Amino acid sequence: MFKSDTIAAISTALSPSGISIVRISGDESIEIANKIFKSKKNIDVTKVKSHTIHYGFICSGDESEPVDEVLLTVMKGPHTYTGEDIVEINCHGGIYVTRKILDIVIANGASLAAPGEFTKRAFLNGRMDLSQAEAVNDIITSSNEYSLKASVNQLNGSLRNKIISLRETILEPTAYIETALDDPEHFDLDGFANSIKPKILNVIDEIDKLIKTSDDGRLIKEGIETIIVGKPNAGKSSLLNALLGEERAIVTDTPGTTRDALSEYINLGGITLHIVDTAGIRETSDIIERMGVEKAKELISGGDLVLFVIDSSKPLDKNDKNIFSMLNGKKTIFLLNKSDLENETNEDILLEEINKFTNFASNPSKNNGENDMQYSIIPISARKNTGIDILTDEIKELFFAGNISFNNEIYIANERQKFDLKDAKEALKNVINGIELGVSEDLLTIDLMDGYESLGKIIGESVGEDLINEIFSKFCVGK
């Protein structure tokens, strides 16, 4: 059990609200609460049952006047969030009163908690592993339905259970080899290395599957970097406004109105999009507009998804065709805008132009090669808000094969975890190479244990204090 001083912090947002919570954790939390909590029945907080709530007042020192009317929740360790005694003071949600109560708690013996210190103590006291602790912060910062579900799955131990299972598979042959080396009379190693090869290959395959989820995990957690492109007056700004449901971008009939990129986050059907509306791409002598066009080209190269807005009421021109050449390998949704007007560019004409570029997949629903680009075509009217609802399904199809499942799926959305998985994979590939080269079993155990320990880092085994402090420093104070 991790032991340290008693800590306290405000665990709710510091803003006017219905209630606020001041949390205390540590050996002295109940004694501190008993000093400052007064009730009509004169309750001794040190003698109440665990996980009970009590009505009363917080008083400062010897002052008879109460500071606030509160509900006091008492939870005794080890069956608490941190594994320690915890007291939570539910007070009125004023900024001043909440701060005053925290000051009283600190004046009576508690220390101000560092960012993430409550969850850090939960990890150090074995209440959760490191992957679950990181999931707590992911839940707090989640910005959409899928991000929340992925984080809750990890908090419930989906990743931990998978890692434990993989480590057990590695540990079994490692232990046998070590035992056989110590007691060769009773344990035979003849042919043993080849016999474990299928198991190690299976572990590598499972690790590889986890690594491959990292792209989806990043998109779920951070959002899809979405770049709106098109020639001037194609309707890019109207599309942004339609997606946002408000007049965020200026819309005029004058070409070149948007000179710089506008950036917004939106939630579209449970998926977060980081949408950037770029300057209209065209040949121009205007220096400022030209700078905007160059910026648009940079954004395309770094984006995850391109929404190419095309004015379907006009024929495709050299500015449209110039944009095609910028879309190398990018997942693209072609939006035939102004579909409510008489069309000069329809889907057949657009497909004919698309087919001239070899970096487009011939089958929009499948990626036929590394250099093929997945795409789809949607007729819309940004001004009349038609066709916009189809975007959600198309984006899910392009990025998540139409759906995101959370029944048994694990998504790696953490670079630290991805790095450790790659280390484990490399160590186990060395084991396979060693088996094929016929190296001695004692050398195989070195790589086996490297793989075992790399996986262990994901759940918090064999990690240094500096890394632990860095991880929890990203949490908010009070959690």
Domain spans in the chain, listed from the N-terminal domain onward:
7-129, 135-218+414-459, 223-400
pLDDT (tens digit per residue) in 420-471 = 999 999 999 999 999 999 999 889 999 999 999 999 999 998 778 888 888 8
CA pair distance 220, 413, nearest whole angstrom: 8
Q: Does residue 35 or residue 361 have the better pLDDT?
A: 35
257-299 residue pLDDT tens: 444 557 888 887 778 888 888 877 766 556 666 676 677 778 8
Residue 282 has a pLDDT of 64
403 pLDDT exceeds 70?
no
Residue 9 pLDDT level (bands cut at 50, 70, 90): very high
Instruction: Tell me what pLDDT residue 251 has.
Output: 43
Q: How do beta strands 86-93 and 66-75 pair?
A: antiparallel
For position 402, what pLDDT does the model report? Answer: 52
Consecutive H or E run containing 391? helix 390-400
Alpha-helix runs per DSSP H in 20-75: 29-36
- Terminal Cα distance for the chain, rounded: 19
The confidence score (pLDDT) of residue 128 equals 93
Between 354 and 63, name the one with better pLDDT. Answer: 354
Given pLDDT bands bounded at 50, 70 and 90, which one contains residue 356?
A: confident
pLDDT value for 62: 62
Q: Is the pLDDT of residue 196 over 90?
A: yes
The H-or-E segment that residue 463 falls in is none
Other residues' Cβ atoms within 10 Å of the Cβ of residue 39: 14
- Of residues 63 and 374, more confidence is placed in 374
The confidence score (pLDDT) of residue 147 equals: 83
- Residues linked to residue 73 through DSSP beta bridges, in sequence order: 53, 88
C-alpha 450/C-alpha 167 separation (Å) is: 11
Per-residue pLDDT at 150 exceeds 60: yes
pLDDT score recorded for residue 463: 79
Sheet holding 66-75, edge to edge: 37-38, 52-59, 66-75, 86-93, 17-25, 7-10, 111-112
Contact 334, 308 (CB under 8 A): yes
Q: Mean per-residue pLDDT for 147-154?
A: 85
Count of other CB atoms within 10 angstroms of residue 318: 10
CATH of 135-218+414-459, one of 3.90.850.10, 3.40.1170.10, 3.30.160.70, 1.20.120.430: 1.20.120.430
Do 219 and 399 touch, CB atoms closer than 8 A?
A: yes
| Residue 235: predicted pLDDT | 87
Chain center to CA of 378: 29
> Is residue 184 reached through a cis peptide bond, with omega within 30 degrees of 0 on the bond before it?
no
Antiparallel, parallel or unpaired: β 52-59 and 37-38? antiparallel
Q: pLDDT tens, 41-66? A: 889 999 999 999 999 999 986 656 89
Averaged over 4-18, what is the pLDDT?
91
Q: Which two tokens stand for residue 247?
A: 């007049």
- CB neighbours (10 Å) of residue 216? 19
Q: How confident is the model at residue 254 (pLDDT cuts 50, 70, 90)?
A: very low
**pLDDT (0 to 100) of residue 264:** 85
Nearest to 409 by CA among 153, 143, 156, 135: 153
Confidence (pLDDT) at 111: 95
Percent of the chain with pLDDT over 90: 45
pLDDT of residue 473: 87
Q: Read off the pTM.
A: 0.76
- The CATH T-level fold of domain 223-400 is Rossmann fold (3.40.50)
pLDDT (tens digit, 9 = 90+) per residue, 293-332? 677 778 888 888 999 999 999 998 888 888 887 887 788 9
pLDDT at 292: 65
> Residue 394, Cα to own-chain centre: how many angstroms?
22
Q: Please state, rounded to an integer, the average pLDDT across all residues of the chain.
A: 85
Lowest mean pLDDT among 97-106, 215-224, 227-236: 215-224
Instruction: Spell out the alpha helix ranges (H) of 55-116.
Output: 95-107
Give the CATH H-level superfamily of domain 7-129.
Answer: Probable tRNA modification gtpase trme; domain 1 (3.30.1360.120)
Query: For residue 70, what are the β-bridge partners?
Result: 56
- Does the pLDDT of residue 99 top 80, yes or no? yes
> How many other β-carbons are positioned within 10 Å of the β-carbon of residue 468?
17
Q: Is residue 347 scored above 70 in pLDDT?
A: yes
> Region 336-340: what's the mean pLDDT?
89
Residue where the block lists tokens 């069309």? 343
